[in-house]
Chain A
């Protein structure tokens, strides 16, 4: 197996607020290899987005406080200088954001925004930059790219704008692409186009892709490995087929049971009672304990479970043992 491109180890992020310290990310470890797609799944407040912002040094410090390690091809990024990080952003690691409406500058043409990235990182100017920009638009499937370079963002649909964002992200041939809910704001038929596009580009270029999403449905079709986050922790990590076939964490099980599935009719959706934990007032034991349908003894309430093996390439942070279910008759 090839060496990991990007390795995150024991990443922790806290924010100092007026109400005290909010622990938003609490010890997250993962890595991504060339050609691999890792999906990070979580609901709002799970820390999935903040943890990837920290990779690029985009968490404002203060009020934020980042510790742990993020290594790109062996180089440490936590604590790296602004200049080093800036060189890294867009160049080695690129990002695509959720909202294609607000992540493009409305007063610049699309062409100008792509050539800006080319100028910044590759020193391309003038006609050369424009030719390259048109190539990129073509690669992301925008028809008549030459004409489109002179369009303004408001003249394009949401799907088109997301394609432009992807073109900008690809401008410098990044080795890792971080896609933060890139399809959430789009319609399903457009969503399918974008998933297919990123899939194809990845196969072509052998990029590592980190796909952040709340949607377990989208993940099933595109990821190699899945990390489930809850309360700023990775609670389960598994190859995609294993995760859906035998989820080991009660939270993952709950999420999958809560999802309506097209073509299957469930009379009642299973729910997860209660609300996610407050990051400035985390329970001392398992973060999921207050909502957990499988919670056991006092141990869950006082001790925080860490990731442990639960099968081939499968790790889970819970004291609950799915295998013992039948035996104990729970």
Chain B
């Protein structure tokens, strides 16, 4: 059942987040980690955008930057028509009421010294909601996420991972947000528990009309929950489009290899299918390759890849892909950064 194609709720334009490498305050002219290096996204009301990437792709940092939990270096984030990057302190708090976040590690994301009920009530305290009957509301939220409300007086260490993740979701929903950033919400759970949490998220979305940004490394899970998918590599969106188009007919060599690397729980199909095994590792975000970030591992690399930074462009099946195979479109890299030929050839050698 496809959700109504709503209007745009979140729009990210050329977001960049650069961190100084190593310790801080040790003088200028230091190396910079380009964690997010020009990400543009758009999420419509009521839909789920899946943001997939491997470690170091900048997917988590992107999620944090949307809520200004880390400060963007440049770029704009529009939420329901307001520019989040320009918000002042007080307005930022009001904005954070409308956007909830669920974190990966259910063991670390709850304060061990507060009862789980107190944690769920916290957003209401912060924003002065439900002054009367706050406890009643906490009980409601517990029921909503499938937990016994009587458990709300207990402490986090008394719960299993799946239960804690439910508590994290209840907390994120307490201030009645429109939008949830879900940062790897199922990555640290067992398979049978993952399915419970995914189903819960989907039913909550239907009931409450929520919009999700679902961040994960697991393409199979992302595909299951998302309407559209964006694929991130080394801080840059490589491809984005409708779920089935991205998974079924990937237009970027990186997406293609990612899809082919996901194991399929069916020995017959697994044996038959052709696998593209990428060579080498993800380059360091301290020193990303010139031109296309993926060129050091790309099976289809050719001349312009080292000299022109590809931009997202339309492809035949409607996906957007940042790849010169669909026509060389992008910004020319300054002369001094041109790679020498050996660098392109020795793709293997790049180790972070």
Residue-wise interface mask of A (11-44) relative to B, using a CB-CB cutoff of 8 A (1 in contact, 0 not):
0000000000000000000000000000000011
Pairwise interchain contact A271-B195, C-beta atoms closer than 8 A: yes
Residue-wise interface mask of A (144-156) relative to B, using a CB-CB cutoff of 8 A (1 in contact, 0 not):
1000000000011
Asked if B223 CB lies within 8 Å of chain A CBs, one says yes
Pairwise interchain contact B265-A216, C-beta atoms closer than 8 A: yes
List the 10 closest A-B pairs by CB distance, nearest first: A217-B263, A187-B54, A258-B195, A260-B224, A269-B195, A272-B192, A43-B190, A221-B270, A192-B261, A157-B281
Pairwise interchain contact B223-A269, C-beta atoms closer than 8 A: no
Closest to A268 in B: B199
How near does chain A come to B143, taking the closest CB pair, in angstroms?
A: 16
20 interchain pairs (CB within 8 A)? A43-B190, A43-B191, A157-B282, A157-B352, A187-B55, A216-B191, A221-B267, A221-B270, A244-B267, A259-B220, A260-B220, A261-B264, A262-B247, A263-B259, A265-B223, A266-B224, A268-B202, A269-B224, A271-B199, A275-B160
Pairwise interchain contact A220-B264, C-beta atoms closer than 8 A: yes
Residues of the A chain whose Cβ atoms lie less than 8 Å from the Cβ of B244: 265
The complex places the Cα of A262 from the Cα of B246 at a distance, in Å, of 11
Pairwise interchain contact A262-B192, C-beta atoms closer than 8 A: no
Count chain A residues whose beta carbon lies closer than 8 angstroms to a beta carbon of B.
48
Residues of B near any A CB (own CB < 8 A): 1, 54-55, 160, 162, 190-192, 194-196, 198-199, 202, 217-221, 223-224, 243-244, 247-248, 257-259, 261-268, 270-271, 275, 277-279, 281-282, 348-349, 351-352
Residues of the B chain whose Cβ atoms lie less than 8 Å from the Cβ of A265: 223-224, 243-244
The complex places the Cα of A265 from the Cα of B220 at a distance, in Å, of 10
Residues of the B chain whose Cβ atoms lie less than 8 Å from the Cβ of A275: 160, 162
Residues of the A chain whose Cβ atoms lie less than 8 Å from the Cβ of B192: 43, 254-255, 258, 271-272
Residues of A near any B CB (own CB < 8 A): 43-44, 143-144, 155-160, 187-193, 196, 214-221, 240-241, 244, 254-256, 258-263, 265-273, 275
Pairwise interchain contact B195-A189, C-beta atoms closer than 8 A: no
Pairwise interchain contact A188-B224, C-beta atoms closer than 8 A: no
How near does chain A come to B280, taking the closest CB pair, in angstroms?
A: 8
By secondary structure, the B interface counts as helix
Of residues B55, B192, B243, B248, which shows the largest number of chain A Cβ atoms within 10 Å of its Cβ? B192
Contact of A267 among B1, B194, B243, B258 (CB under 8 A): B1
Residues of the B chain whose Cβ atoms lie less than 8 Å from the Cβ of A43: 190-192
Pairwise interchain contact B195-A188, C-beta atoms closer than 8 A: no
Task: Knowing A189-B54, A258-B195, say if A217 contacts B217 (CB, 8 Å).
Answer: no
Pairwise interchain contact A220-B270, C-beta atoms closer than 8 A: yes
Pairwise interchain contact B259-A262, C-beta atoms closer than 8 A: yes
Residues of the B chain whose Cβ atoms lie less than 8 Å from the Cβ of A271: 192, 195-196, 199
Pairwise interchain contact B351-A258, C-beta atoms closer than 8 A: no
The complex places the Cα of A241 from the Cα of B268 at a distance, in Å, of 7
How near does chain A come to B31, taking the closest CB pair, in angstroms?
A: 16
Contact of A221 among B160, B257, B271 (CB under 8 A): B271
Residues of the B chain whose Cβ atoms lie less than 8 Å from the Cβ of A269: 195, 198-199, 224
How near does chain B come to A185, taking the closest CB pair, in angstroms?
A: 9
Pairwise interchain contact B261-A191, C-beta atoms closer than 8 A: yes
Residues of the B chain whose Cβ atoms lie less than 8 Å from the Cβ of A270: 195
Pairwise interchain contact B282-A221, C-beta atoms closer than 8 A: no
Pairwise interchain contact B223-A189, C-beta atoms closer than 8 A: no
Closest to A267 in B: B1
Residues of the A chain whose Cβ atoms lie less than 8 Å from the Cβ of B220: 217, 259-262
Pairwise interchain contact B191-A214, C-beta atoms closer than 8 A: yes
Contact of B223 among A187, A218, A219, A260 (CB under 8 A): A260
How near does chain A come to B187, taking the closest CB pair, in angstroms?
A: 11
How near does chain A come to B260, taking the closest CB pair, in angstroms?
A: 8
Residues of the A chain whose Cβ atoms lie less than 8 Å from the Cβ of B247: 262-263
Residues of the B chain whose Cβ atoms lie less than 8 Å from the Cβ of A214: 190-191
How near does chain A come to B229, taking the closest CB pair, in angstroms?
A: 11
Task: Taking A155-B351, A221-B271, A271-B199 as given, write out 14 further A-B residue pairs in contact, using a Cβ cutoff of 8 Å, ordered by the A residue number.
Answer: A188-B219, A188-B258, A190-B281, A196-B277, A217-B263, A220-B263, A221-B263, A221-B264, A241-B268, A254-B192, A259-B191, A265-B243, A269-B198, A272-B195
Residues of the B chain whose Cβ atoms lie less than 8 Å from the Cβ of A191: 261, 263
